[in-house]
Chains A and B, each alone.
Chain A
Amino acid sequence: MIAGGAAPGFAARLRRGFAASDAAPIYGALALVAAISWGAIVLAGGQINLANTLVRSVALGLVAVGQTFVILGGSLDLSVAYQVSVTAVMASYIMQGDPNRMWLGVIAVLLIGLAIGCANGLIVTGLRVDPFIATLGSGLILRGILNASFDNFAGAVPKEFQVLGYGALGPLPYAVLLLGVVAAAAWALLRFTRFGHHLYAVGGSQETARLSGVRSARVLIGAHMLCSLGAVLTGLFLVSRLGAGAPWVGPDGNYDLESIAAVVLGGTPLVGGRGGVLGTVAGVLILALLDNLFNQLAVNTFLKEVLRGVIIVAAVAIYTVRSVRSPR
């Protein structure tokens, strides 16, 4: 089907798409961080383990790609950490280690995720509750229900399901493949579909978008549902690694605040309307590379936290100073 002449056109379109996404400088930063951290690891006599770094970024990456949608629309989702927990617990509770119930579990948690995302979207758009408060509240509700129903690991996932967490296609772990496919799909959705363009419009100015005939509420509800799908995928990945889900897997990973940090690190401002998924992936990889570096250098856990705080703020400061100097 693909004619010889179409291939360069497609490649050129990809390149243009990449340039237009504003992600280019972030990938420069990523390359710099990779060079510095790998240089430091080699100098310290450690080993570069790219596959390991990538697998570690999958959990944050999936939820951060989802978070990108809501932030682009000028909203945000603080409930993702508990959505991850809900997914992990419900998946292993429904599967009960039985391979025949695997798909039942996957479909159930996807539906639960979509319902939570839809509820978040409706609270934000229909009840006009500030997204910070809306998703803080829905997160508390999820936490309450979850902790009241489960106080430890619930059920188990079958061995077949753990392939997602541990299996690989040649040198490429399935989980990394999943993140790649999800990020590519999200990128295409934002770049080539009407929904994507509308989402940027809503994030830029909800009122202008509405006056131009965009149904802002529907677009934002859609963004919240996609965000929840990201959290569900993270939950599924985590439960396939752990073998069973527990209520604390989400909050322990700090996925709420860290996913927002990764998105902002990737160049999508919190006010929305600019940026995209490619930047987010770079933001996640930067955090994973630094994590890997600190682990290899055996940096104290608490010092790691301090450094991560400083680096997130410093990186965002560099972006804003840059964008002030060269206004678009």
Chain B
Amino acid sequence: MRRENGKDLEVLTFGLEGEVFAVEAESVREILDLVSVTDVPNSRPFVSGLINVRGKIVPLADLHIRFGMAPFNQSVDTRVVVIEVPLAGEPTTVGIIADKVFEVTNLIDASIEEAPDIGLKWRREFISGIGKRAEDFVIVLDMERIFAMGDTETVAQAEAAAKNHS
């Protein structure tokens, strides 16, 4: 993703199975410890839980499943990052599980590059850009697409579905 205004991107970085991912800090509402999760039977495995975020019932998403990793295992470092994403035009609060939350940091605009065609084991549509932080890569996620798309459908299908919806 090329950022048109040339400003640095403020992100929250977190870990999933040793990889460093990032979401735009702007969309982050809060970070919570993981407490009781309610299973939603027969829902998609990727969003199979509900949590109580101060009186609001919020779906809990496990990005591990989205990225083909094994489902999360709770540890002392496990956190829930509560973010707000537009879903079919409606801002929706969603919790995502992070194995570990690192920090809020600035990614220098010039260092963010588009995801390459090869060399990634994840679906490219989910990634809005790859930034550099010290010697490491940070994968900036496109949360809207991650939540908008079904488990198997392509970007084109999802966008068509979104259009039909509005």
A and B associate in one complex: no
A interface residues (Cβ-Cβ under 8 A, vs B): none
B interface residues (Cβ-Cβ under 8 A, vs A): none
